[in-house]
Amino acid sequence: MDRRSFMLGTAAGALLISAKGLAFAQEAAGTAPDLAAFPRNETLIIHNPEGVIRNPAWFNNWVIGSGAGLSNGLHNLTTDTFWFIDPDAGIEGASENAIYNSLADDLWQYNEDFTEMTVKLKQGIYWSDGNEFTADDVVFTVEKHKATPGLAQNGAYNAQVASVEAVDPYTVKFTLNGPNSRFHTLFSIRWGGAWIMSKAQFEGVEDILSFPNDPPVSIGPYTLHSYDPNGTWYIWQRREDWQRTALGMIAEPKPKFIIYRNNISPDNRLIEMRNGNLDMVHDLSPEATFSIIKDDPQVQGWFPGFPYAHPDPTLVMAIFNLQKPLFTDKRVRWALALMLDARAMSMASYRGAATLSAISVPPTGTHPRDYHAPLQEFLTNYEITAGGNTVKPYDPTIGMQIADMVRGQFPDAPTDETAIRNAFGYGWWKQDIATAEALLTDAGFTKNGNQWMMPDGQPFSFSVMVPTDGVVNRLGAIIAQTWAQNGIGAEMEAASDTWDRQRVGNYDVNISWAVETWGGHPDLSFFLDSYHSEYIRPLGESQPDRNWMRWEDPRLDALIEKIRGSDFNDPVGIEYGHEFVKLHLEEMPNIPIMSYNVFSVQSNRFWTGWPNAENPYANPVTNWSNGRYIFTQISPVEGAV
């Protein structure tokens, strides 16, 4: 049943809209549908962090730049592709090594030289219009994208795919333009990726770039029920044949209705959760999280106590612009690292709720098992020589020190050493001003009063670019302040266009991230492949994700090429990852600091069974499409209506 014929009461019917083409919403505060029409033991209400969705009637998520919503349920509930790789552990028994076979019946199969990939498809999966999903849909998707500039994967398919064929209804064979052992990751969802299109829905469309796809044909277990013409909420209804979807083959999605609400201010998120009108909030400020968890015992975060937040597989760092002469000497970069105080950065940014990482791998998902813990001995014994002296700069107790600092205010902070490391990180660099100054002196710098001067006699001055607000803004402020207190002419610059500027190299130091990983899988190619020198662009030209610092090193290229020639699941990948970490430490092309922790909270008032640090089966951050797996694991609270 589509959304035009299904209504719950006249209020919902009055709110229903069907718009074709581009119908842009007006600026509006986040509103709510008639929630009384939806029984709470059947209805899950989710905060979507998108602002006003200016093209609310657009559901063709393959078109770039449409102004439409994405994490409004569209890519969470209606889309699918071959595989998902969970940023956390994945559901036990349904995933292996955090990998789900979704539309694929098994893992990818390459030929010996990685120039061909064959995919076996699951049988018995149907689109919501009753058409069976087959290899024809896959072939149509790839060929349509290759032929249509403006579609999301046009560049990727043209660059990588020579041809694609349906060997039989449930087998697809890709012939690649060259060896590529990571081609399958294009169809492996971390946050988003290459979604499959319905051939029956799109084949007859004359101009796919202007086709709104309203209502969307869904290959997921939910279809569109209704939405706000002002673009602030979307309601999705579970399909009666949900068993004929990949997610339904794992387990039944428990909510009959899922409502995504967006454009809700931080204060109103708090109020709406307290009032029972939100079950999942994408993010609150650290202070708001501390408040609601203290006041409402039904609300939970990722950790059972402080610091509560979920560490995303994203690593916040101080990113140097290596194409500027200021930062070409690694001794200078190391000096700037050793001037920083990890405890001060944690308190200033996250009020102590940061998860630190001294290495260029986020301290999240399964990475502590594969990287942080095995490398502790190496880090503890790591040595730097400056001014003729050799020091060991790593302090493995920093996380425990921060836990002790916050425990007076937050007595629920962990006391167990393993729990502390998981929540606060393993360790970080000691603040060692003497060694930092010796490194600068070794690099030819001199000090004029309290101002460090470069070898050419000019003051060592630069800007530290940060976003206009939030935890990263606060982190950048303490970093710039610390450098300035130690004779560096560092000045914080708050900018609203940080992402655009870092892409073209219009910055000195940027507080952001150049590392994103799968999280639940040890392979680092998600970010590391982009570090190859073949992608580096000169200042002023657009740098591909994610080597924003433009780090170039033949040893790095050689390592990346070894990874490209290895299988995704080969344990040797972890060894290569360790090699990368050690090379990064030697060069310090950026300063890894902490994971991007998201203060996502969930209410157990109406639904329970949420993922958490003790049962990390999924990422609770609501705009990730991987969050769909949560809906199979939660249950309505008995008696909740």
Three-state helix/strand/coil letters over 24-38: CCCCCCCCCCCHHHC
- Global pTM reads 0.91
In which region does residue 453 sit, left (phi positive, over 0), alpha (psi from -120 to 50) or beta (all else)?
Answer: beta
- d(CA 516, CA 125) in angstroms, rounded, equals 32
The token duo for 471 is: 């935890």
Which pLDDT score is estimated for 4? 28
8 band by pLDDT with thresholds 50, 70 and 90: very low
Q: What is the pLDDT of residue 625?
A: 95
Mean pLDDT of 434-462: 98
Q: What's phi and psi for 44, nearest 5 deg?
A: -105, 135
Taking each helix axis from N to C end, the angle separating 398-406 and 417-424, rounded to the nearest 10 degrees, works out to: 90
Coil, helix or strand for 110?
A: strand
pLDDT tens profile 623-635: 999 999 999 999 9
Instruction: Mention every residue, 6+ apart, whose C-beta is less than 8 A from residue 84.
Output: 95, 99, 100, 102, 188, 189, 625, 626, 629
Taking only the tens place, the pLDDT of each residue in 57-83 is 999 999 988 999 999 999 999 999 999
Question: In this predicted structure, what is the pLDDT of residue 480?
Answer: 98
The DSSP code sequence of 507-543 is -SEEEEEEEE--SSS---HHHHGGGSGGG---TTSPP
> What is the average per-residue pLDDT within 320-336?
98
pLDDT at 31 over 90: no
Mean of the pLDDT values across residues 592-606? 97
Return the DSSP state at 563.
Answer: H
Residue 18 CA to residue 228 CA, distance in Å, equals 10
Q: pLDDT tens digit string along 272-281?
A: 999 999 999 9
Greatest alpha-carbon pair distance for the chain in Å reads 80
The DSSP line for 591-627 is EEEEEEEE--EEETTTEE---BTTB-SS---TTSGGG
pLDDT score of 3 more than 60? no
What domains can be seen in the chain, in order of their start residue? 9-16+41-79+206-305+602-636 (3.40.190.10), 83-202 (3.90.76.10), 310-598 (3.10.105.10)
Cα torsion angle, 381, 384, 390, 394, sign: negative
Whole-number mean pLDDT of the chain?
Answer: 94
Distance, CA of 66 to CA of 115 (rounded, Å): 34
549-571, pLDDT tens digit by residue? 999 999 999 999 999 999 999 99
Question: Which two three-digit tokens encode residue 329?
Answer: 């000497």
Q: β-strands 509-516, 310-320: how paired?
A: antiparallel
Are 165 and 104 contacting, i.e. CB atoms less than 8 angstroms apart?
no
Reply yes or no on whether the pLDDT at 526 is more than 90.
yes
Mean pLDDT throughout 370-390? Answer: 98
Q: What is the mean pLDDT of residues 448-462?
A: 97
Q: What is the pLDDT of residue 29?
A: 60
Question: For residue 14, is pLDDT > 70?
Answer: no
Helix locations, 102-246, DSSP H: 135-146, 154-160, 199-202
Q: Would you say residue 428 has pLDDT above 80? A: yes
Task: Reply yes or no on whether the pLDDT at 222 is more than 50.
Answer: yes
pLDDT of res. 6: 25
